[in-house]
Amino acid sequence: MSSEHHSDIFLRPRFSIDVKMSQDALINLLNEKLNSDVENYKLKKIDHHFFVDISQKKRHYWSPQLHIEALNDFKGGSIVKGLFTPRPHVWTLFIFMHLIAGTVFLIFSIMLYVRWTLEGNLLFPAIMTILTPILWLGFYIFGRWGRRQGKDQMEELYKFLRSSINN
């Protein structure tokens, strides 16, 4: 069994694990193991996709969600692909904040261009056009901070998955 971690720069860390069992056997094993610990984890399964959440009693705002995909590697084994994501309400909040920041940037960039073309006052749109990417950077830093808040639970989910596959 080999494991591959992808770059740590992403807000949504990924990993791959090669497993020497068929896809069907892997799916059955994951289904059995993940359903056996309902006190600590909440499982949703769709075909060969598993979504694992931390239980309600241990969950906090920044708790991660683990998306597991069991794939056939066509060599008699399987591949487990994992993706840690924020829970949907956190993800929606960040998408909304980025949409607002992008819209504000676009509006003030257009306003800056129009005022520059008409030789008007450039101060306010120039300041807003410069501040908006700084706001985006703040959103990124805030997202990294939030991921760090859920890092212990990410490691817990990863260790649980590894122990489930190794048994």
pLDDT tens-digit profile of 30-42? 888 877 877 788 8
Using a cut of 0.85, tell me whether the model's pTM lies above it: no
Amino acid 167: pLDDT: 59
Dihedrals φ, ψ of 76, to 5°? 95, -5
CA distance 58 to 47: 27
